């Protein structure tokens, strides 16, 4: 049995109709570098069935390790997210949405997440109904994350998101859009359940790494962020987690 689980993570693939064949070398390289791949949302550009089928073919033809995914906002664009999930599931991808999955003593909990801002500048559920609905969407995603984490009984817990739970990994983005890149409401369950690592995407100009208030590492694995931060490396992040023993956060 392996001593560590090598977790590769990537986000914001934005697969288009013209993407056929372009991801196969990357997936092959990931297969040689890791034991499991996390796909952290915006897997497609417009969330269409055709884009989903192209991504599924890229995965089945070149990815040789298990994969887990959450959807991103782009994957909802065409209103075909259920069909997209079915396509990915048929390709062997475990799609997380308020659900959890265990592998070699490591637990994974995933949700898309949502926007709303961070800390004292977070949007409150007050005023017009549309504002309350917006905030409640974020609260519901945080509750789904909490439910998924609560199901895990593993020493290691990994959170898979699309939107960021902290502001640190969206820094460098234009300040006007920061509130739309994540929500600190997602942070509380991460620290309460003492996750060992968090992966997300969505913020293309953000920072590659930060920490929650409870000191859990948070990795922004959006492809543009990784390409800019590590120009001499392929645009995915690998983190090793010990198998079967408690790791302090």
pLDDT at res. 2: 80
For residue 249, pLDDT beyond 50: no
Model confidence over 109-136: pLDDT tens digits? 999 999 999 998 899 999 999 999 999 9
pLDDT at 247 over 50: no
For residue 248, is pLDDT > 50?
A: no
Alpha carbon 46 to its chain's center: 18
Query: 195-206 pLDDT, tens per residue?
Result: 999 999 999 999
Instruction: Return d(Cα 181, Cα 177) in angstroms, integer.
Output: 7
Q: What is the mean pLDDT of residues 9-37?
A: 97
Chain centroid, CA 223 distance in Å? 12
Residue 209 pLDDT greater than 50, yes or no: yes
Instruction: Identify the pLDDT of residue 234.
Output: 96
More reliable by pLDDT, 247 or 142: 142
* Mean pLDDT score of the chain: 96
Mapped onto helix, strand or coil, the DSSP state of residue 137 is helix
Interval 137-150: pLDDT, tens: 999 999 999 999 99
- Print burial letters for 47-65: b (CB count within 10 Å at least 16), e (below 16): bbeebbbbbbbbbeebbee
The domain 4-242 belongs to what CATH superfamily?
Answer: Metallo-dependent phosphatases (3.60.21.10)
Kindly state the percentage of the chain with pLDDT values over 70.
97
The pLDDT value given to residue 141: 98
Dihedral over Cα of 68, 78, 207, 168: its sign: negative
Residue spans of the domains in the chain: they are 4-242
């Amino acid at each position: 049995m392996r001593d560590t689980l090598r977790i590769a993570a990537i986000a914001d693939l934005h697969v288009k109709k013209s993407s056929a064949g372009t991801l196969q070398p990357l997936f092959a390289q990931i297969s040689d570098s890791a034991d499991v791949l996390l796909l952290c949302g915006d897997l497609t550009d417009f969330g269409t069935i055709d884009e989903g089928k192209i991504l599924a073919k890229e995965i089945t033809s070149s990815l040789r390790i298990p994969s887990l995914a959450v959807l991103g906002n782009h994957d909802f664009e065409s209103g075909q997210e259920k069909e997209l999930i079915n396509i990915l599931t048929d390709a062997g991808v475990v799609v997380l949405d308020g659900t959890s999955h265990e592998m070699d003593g490591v637990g994974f909990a995933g949700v898309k997440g949502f926007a709303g801002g961070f800390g004292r500048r977070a949007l409150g559920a007050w005023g017009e109904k549309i504002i309350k609905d917006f905030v409640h969407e974020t609260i519901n995603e945080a509750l789904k994350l909490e439910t998924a984490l609560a199901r895990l009984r593993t020493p290691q817990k990994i959170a898979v998101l699309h939107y960021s739970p902290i502001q640190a990994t969206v820094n460098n983005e234009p300040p006007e859009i920061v509130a739309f890149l994540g929500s600190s409401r997602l942070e509380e369950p991460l620290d309460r359940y003492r996750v060992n690592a968090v992966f997300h995407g969505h913020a293309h100009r953000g920072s590659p790494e930060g920490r929650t208030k409870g000191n859990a590492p948070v990795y922004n694995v959006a492809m543009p962020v990784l390409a800019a931060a590590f120009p001499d490396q392929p645009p995915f992040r690998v983190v090793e987690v010990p198998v079967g023993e408690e790791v302090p956060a």
